[in-house]
Chains A and B, each alone.
Chain A
Amino acid sequence: MAEVRFSVPKQSSAGGADNAVPSVKMLLEDVSVFYGTFRALAGVNMPVYEHHITAIIGPSGCGKSTLIRTLNRMNDTVDGARVEGRVLLDGEDIYAPDVDPAIVRRRVGMVFQKPNPFPKSIFENVAFGIWLYNKRISRSELSDRVEIALKRAALWDEVKDKLKQLGTSLSGGQQQRLCIARAIAVEPEVLLMDEPASALDPISTMKIEELMLDLKRDYTIVIVTHNMQQAARVSDYTAMMMMRPDRAGELIEFDRTEIIFTNPKDKRTADYVSGRFG
């Protein structure tokens, strides 16, 4: 593994049986992101642990979305966006010149804040990604894999009779779970979720949180959230971000979630998670 230039709690002071440091799935090394000349992210160093949920929290505009989109090169689609530093996936820099961003996104899937199903049938929504990398797949196998993905996303029972209906005809919460099904159908290793429940009612939100807890056995999950309870409920690790005076976002604290919420080192973190943030 590459040299580690950030301070992560090697052995958390909280103590406990599951304290063994898990393996690092992704690693950000001194990552800065620029939109044109504007620096949105400054020198972020942070690990993403395998089979754990990492939450990114922080005030609006501090660069959370920018950070999470850096993890699967979604920022490539933004004109003038530029990334400095290294983002490692299993020790390999995903921004290396010969890396195909499509393959990166294959391995690092993403669910967006606003549900964005394709304006196609529910079936096609899930099947598209599977079919992309296996164009000879038989119809029955495709159906099976679509069913599995929809079941894992806890949507199967609600849509199994209307797979031909438009994905866009579902309710917001169902659409978001469809997007999750679409993302996990291609069996990524990491799943990025940018405020996946911000547009949803409490019941849908709860369903998605349960889903994340269930999915973390197989996937590594990174989630951006404004909801402190949500971060506390679902995540294992929490990254606290802030905006510097020059409006660049920085990571001010990264630790196990219970420490961030009970005993943070940084006063700003304490203020923020307790709602005293100005």
Chain B
Amino acid sequence: MARSITEPTPQDFSAVELRGDASVRRRQVIARTGRGVLFFSLVLGLVALLTLFLNVFDKLGGYAVYAFKIDPLTITPSRPLEELSREELLALIEKHVPEDAKALIPEEYGAPLEELSNEDLVNILYNDTPSPETLTAKPLEALTREELIEVLQRNVTGTRFEQLQAERPLEQRTREELIELVEVEVLQRSVVWQWTLFESIFNRDAILAEIASRYPGSDYEFKWWLTPRFIASDQTTRPETTGLRPALLGSLLVVILSILFAVPIGVAAGIYLEEFAGKSRLGAIIQTNIYNLAGVPSIIYGMLGLAVFARALRDFTTGAAFGVPNPPPNGRTIITASLTMALLILPLIIVNTQEAIRAVPQALRDAALAVGATKWETVWHHVLPVAAPGILTGTILATARALGETAPLIVVGAAAYVTMDPQGIFSSYTVLPIQIYTWTKLPEQIFTRVASAAVVVLLVTVLAINLTAIILRNRLRKQI
């Protein structure tokens, strides 16, 4: 078809000038809509993140009502009733014997109260009060520091007492701290009910009223779960006393070891693939496989670790081959976990190293080669220093990944209940995410609060690691 082409006249242009015609306006609508969708996605992501944080922090603290397994008055110093004076006995009867029982006294003992002997008064107290032996006991709050320490010494086991002394000598603790210690250690204080953080902040009066009506006379306070004591203590079976230290140290060891295994190998493999392997069919196949490995579900690494490290190489991973006594069963050791985790992050580190190296401009390699450097010298002196920030960032991010990864360690056998610090690389262990998982599974509801405290520790650590990576990357990138 022949088309006639006419030169546009000035009028043709003026129509679309500045404001544009319908087609231009349609483009503007599309642009605005597109921008709106992008912005909405961002907001959605931020809301999700915020919800996550609020949800975790909501469980961190709040008003808690306590109950004691043991009556405080049974353990504080008291005087035998027989030693009391007549006035003291009468006062106790007045205070503790119910009115109806009092009314029956003259009939039962054949004389009004005032005329009875001391012996009879003591008998009345024994018969008509619910816990006669605690009548003269001092309340906990009335004890001196020395008395508190003595109560502790009498009522906890010797080893526990030494442990407490080691954490901080009792003599250096305040009275309040000692009272708290007695409540937790001796009276087996437990939380019967705890409100969430936001309830406690925004609904304070209602909560206090409810405590007064539903738990009259109970001890209550605003209780935080994330305390230095929690982070530094061994694990126990009670939420009040349990701690995060074994899991923290376990995580630390596993992560450090897996990085030590994976980084040298991964970086070396990445450099080789990117700089020396050249383009071949085999290289392409290997490359594809590494990308795939980086995306393999982590549980599969757990299966692999179980088969290889925990089973086939058990003698080595438990240290039995090196004569380590009492190896944990089934190869459930730190070293097994570290090797499994190293396998998991290896492809990440390889791929990341490759990307960092690929980002180094070819011009830099040309520059070094052109003055007569060999390939090795070029890579070593010029490519690697420039790629180092990227490699380092990737390594740090892999650390964060290893820290949070749970599934493979469940398979290779992180123990659920480890009360003590890991004793070297052949020791059984637990790690943060598994500890959290275990706590959330326990029937005792209040353990979810403990788990939340651990979640915050894990979350903050991971975020701090990622932040370090970002800062480091920006700083080092600026230097180049």
Contacts of A77 in B (CB 8 A): 362, 365-366, 369
A118-B364 in contact (CB<8A): yes
Question: Does A133 have its Cβ within 8 Å of any Cβ on chain B?
Answer: yes
| Cα A102 to Cα B369 with chains together (Å) | 7
Question: Does A177 have its Cβ within 8 Å of any Cβ on chain B?
Answer: no
Contacts of A185 in B (CB 8 A): 371
8 Å CB contact of A102 from B362, B365, B372, B382: B372
8 Å CB contact of A132 from B279, B366, B367, B373: B373
Contacts of A226 in B (CB 8 A): none
| Cα A179 to Cα B366 with chains together (Å) | 12
8 Å CB contact of A109 from B278, B370, B385: B370
Closest to B375 in A: A102
Contacts of B386 in A (CB 8 A): 119
B366-A72 in contact (CB<8A): no
A132-B371 in contact (CB<8A): yes
| Cα A95 to Cα B302 with chains together (Å) | 52
B381-A128 in contact (CB<8A): yes
Contacts of B147 in A (CB 8 A): none
| Distance from B85 Cβ to chain A, minimum over Cβ atoms (Å) | 92
Contacts of B365 in A (CB 8 A): 77
Question: Does B377 have its Cβ within 8 Å of any Cβ on chain A?
Answer: yes
CB under 8 Å from chain B, chain A span 79-110: 79-80, 101-103, 105-106, 109-110
CB under 8 Å from chain A, chain B span 86-129: none
A80-B370 in contact (CB<8A): no
Also in contact, A110 and B363, with CB within 8 A (given A80-B279, A119-B386, A128-B381)? no
B381-A74 in contact (CB<8A): no
Number of A-B contacts defined by CB within 8 Å? 67
Question: Does B142 have its Cβ within 8 Å of any Cβ on chain A?
Answer: no
Question: Does A35 have its Cβ within 8 Å of any Cβ on chain B?
Answer: no
B366-A103 in contact (CB<8A): no
Interface string of B404-427 (1 = CB under 8 A from A): 000000000000000000000000
Contacts of B144 in A (CB 8 A): none
Contacts of B372 in A (CB 8 A): 102-103, 105-106, 129, 132-133, 186
| Distance from A128 Cβ to chain B, minimum over Cβ atoms (Å) | 7
Question: Does B374 have its Cβ within 8 Å of any Cβ on chain A?
Answer: yes
Q: How large is the interface on A (under 10, 10 to 19, 20 to 34, 35 or more residues)?
A: 20 to 34
Question: Does B480 have its Cβ within 8 Å of any Cβ on chain A?
Answer: yes
Also in contact, A183 and B370, with CB within 8 A (given A128-B381, A132-B377)? yes
Question: Does A182 have its Cβ within 8 Å of any Cβ on chain B?
Answer: yes
| Cα A112 to Cα B373 with chains together (Å) | 16
Contacts of B361 in A (CB 8 A): 116
Question: Does A114 have its Cβ within 8 Å of any Cβ on chain B?
Answer: yes
B382-A118 in contact (CB<8A): yes
Question: Does A117 have its Cβ within 8 Å of any Cβ on chain B?
Answer: yes
| Cα A72 to Cα B371 with chains together (Å) | 10
Question: Does B368 have its Cβ within 8 Å of any Cβ on chain A?
Answer: yes
B371-A186 in contact (CB<8A): yes
A129-B371 in contact (CB<8A): yes
Contacts of B382 in A (CB 8 A): 118
8 Å CB contact of A116 from B367, B373, B377, B480: B367
B373-A74 in contact (CB<8A): no
Contacts of A80 in B (CB 8 A): 279
Contacts of A110 in B (CB 8 A): 366, 370
B368-A112 in contact (CB<8A): no
A-B contact pairs, 27 of them (CB 8 A): A74-B366, A74-B370, A77-B366, A77-B369, A79-B279, A105-B371, A105-B372, A109-B371, A110-B366, A112-B366, A114-B363, A116-B361, A116-B363, A118-B364, A118-B368, A119-B385, A128-B368, A128-B371, A128-B381, A129-B371, A129-B373, A132-B371, A132-B373, A168-B480, A179-B367, A182-B367, A183-B370
- B-side interface residues toward A, CB under 8 Å? 278-279, 361-374, 377, 381-382, 385-386, 480
- A-side interface residues toward B, CB under 8 Å? 72, 74, 77, 79-80, 101-103, 105-106, 109-110, 112, 114, 116-119, 128-129, 132-133, 168, 179, 182-183, 185-186
Given A179-B367, A186-B371, 12 more contacts at CB 8 Å? A74-B370, A77-B362, A77-B366, A103-B372, A105-B369, A110-B366, A112-B370, A114-B363, A116-B361, A117-B367, A118-B364, A118-B382
Which 4 A-B pairs have CB atoms at the shortest separation, nearest pair first? Answer: A106-B372, A129-B371, A116-B363, A110-B370
